[in-house]
């Protein structure tokens, strides 16, 4: 398996300390704090370790503080309920004695029922589209070092955007975008693992959809963005080593917050998951932005 993907799978497995307490490490992927998708994926993994015979159908998380990349994260799971068909778990992610994420996850026994879904957007197939990391050298030179690493370091997933964007000189456009996503290598079987990975990858690209009508200058270090909450619903089984279309839109931005929605479709048009996120978006001077990137700083 590709080493970067293998490392992510190991990262999501967690170390069991006690019956309902787990410990996870972090990876520096170039973001100014622990990547939110990592904490979501690990928190879901912790909840899954306490459930048998049921699969996750939804999760709702609130990011409370920026995570410290250099410190482990403790996941404390509360077995809130085990009913006839559904189980609910509450997970608190803790660093330095303080919670950084509260997450609730719900699990269900597999059942048949009514079925309908939204139509898949009519967009080009992933073949022939360029990966997100293929940026022109002259643009990379203008991107801050941290952002450059975030954009160009090896990732466990391929991202092939349908709409090309200009980081250096963006133009205002509607708050919609489409990105094909796939793991860089074949993954083991097991729906739980693929759900953990989707929790991780769903945090990429989503919130920036809310910035598209405003043409924000990301290369100038003037933009502060931080996820405030994240929700994810699993509708149908899927594999993340097969192409999924991540279709995103942003119905609203106000009060220094942006709101975005996303849907994951298979190439055959099957809707497998939906997600929403709200996040902080501020435009400030570069000095203040650098200060806010300190993981000890609280939003």
Task: Give me the pLDDT at residue 113, please.
Answer: 95
Contact 76, 16 (CB under 8 A): no
| DSSP letter (8 states) at residue 207 | G
Task: Assess whether 154 carries a catalytic annotation.
Answer: no
Task: Give me the pLDDT at residue 143, please.
Answer: 63
Task: Give me the pLDDT at residue 223, please.
Answer: 83
Task: Give me the pLDDT at residue 106, please.
Answer: 98
Name all contacts of 117-121 with Cβ < 8 Å and 24+ positions apart: 117/235, 117/270, 117/271, 118/263, 118/271, 119/269, 120/245, 120/247, 120/265, 120/269, 120/271, 121/178, 121/245, 121/247, 121/265
Task: Give me the pLDDT at residue 145, please.
Answer: 64
Q: For residue 271, give Cα distances in angstroms to 69, 235, 254.
A: 34, 7, 29
Strands (E) in the chain, as ranges, are 15-18, 21-24, 55-63, 73-82, 86-95, 98-108, 157-161, 176-183, 223-234, 244-254, 257-266, 271-283
Q: For residue 281, give Cα distances in angstroms to 39, 211, 224, 227, 293.
A: 20, 8, 6, 9, 13
Task: Assess whether 220 carries a catalytic annotation.
Answer: no
Task: Give me the pLDDT at residue 299, please.
Answer: 43
What pLDDT digit, counting tens, does each position of 97-113 carry? 999 999 999 999 999 99
Flag whether the pTM goes above 0.85: yes
Task: Give me the pLDDT at residue 141, please.
Answer: 67
Task: Give me the pLDDT at residue 33, please.
Answer: 86
Q: Positive or negative, the Cα torsion across 118, 123, 129, 134?
A: negative
CATH number of the structural domain 3-109+125-292: 2.40.160.210
Which listed residue (42, 227, 263, 274) is catalytic? 227
Low-confidence ranges of the chain (pLDDT < 70): 135-153, 166-168, 218-221, 285-299
How many Cβ atoms are within 10 Å of 206's Cβ, its own excluded?
Answer: 26
Task: Assess whether 203 carries a catalytic annotation.
Answer: yes
Contact 164, 136 (CB under 8 A): no
Which listed residue (48, 203, 250, 263) is catalytic? 203
- Between CA 211 and CA 218 the distance in angstroms is 10
Q: Which of 44, 95, 103, 40 is nearest to 70 (CA)?
A: 95
């Amino acid at each position: 398996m590709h080493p970067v993907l293998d490392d992510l799978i190991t990262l999501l497995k967690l170390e069991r300390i006690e019956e309902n307490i787990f410990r996870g490490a972090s990876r520096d992927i170039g973001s100014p704090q622990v990547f939110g998708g990592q904490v979501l994926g690990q928190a879901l993994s912790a909840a899954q370790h306490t459930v048998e015979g049921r699969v996750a159908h939804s999760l709702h998380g609130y990011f409370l503080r920026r995570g410290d990349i250099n410190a482990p994260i403790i996941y404390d799971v509360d077995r809130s309920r085990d009913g006839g068909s559904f189980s609910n778990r509450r997970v608190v992610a803790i660093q330095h004695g303080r919670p950084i994420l509260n997450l609730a996850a719900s699990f269900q026994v597999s059942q048949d029922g009514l079925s309908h879904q939204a139509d898949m957007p009519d967009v080009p197939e992933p073949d022939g589209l360029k990966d997100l990391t293929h940026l022109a050298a002259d643009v990379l030179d203008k991107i801050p070092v941290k952002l450059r690493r975030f954009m160009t370091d090896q990732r466990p997933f391929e991202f092939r955007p349908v709409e090309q964007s200009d980081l250096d000189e963006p133009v205002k456009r509607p708050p919609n975008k489409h990105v094909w996503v796939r793991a860089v290598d074949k993954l083991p079987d097991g729906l739980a693992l693929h759900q953990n990975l989707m929790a991780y990858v769903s945090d990429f690209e989503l919130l920036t959809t809310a910035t598209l009508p405003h043409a924000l200058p990301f290369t100038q270090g003037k933009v502060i963005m931080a996820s405030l909450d994240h929700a994810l619903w699993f509708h149908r089984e899927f594999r993340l080593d097969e192409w999924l279309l991540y279709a995103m839109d942003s119905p609203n931005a106000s009060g220094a917050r942006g709101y975005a929605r996303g849907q994951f479709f298979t190439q055959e048009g099957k809707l497998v998951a939906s997600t929403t996120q709200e996040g902080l978006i501020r435009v400030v001077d570069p000095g203040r932005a650098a200060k806010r990137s300190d993981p000890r700083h609280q939003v």
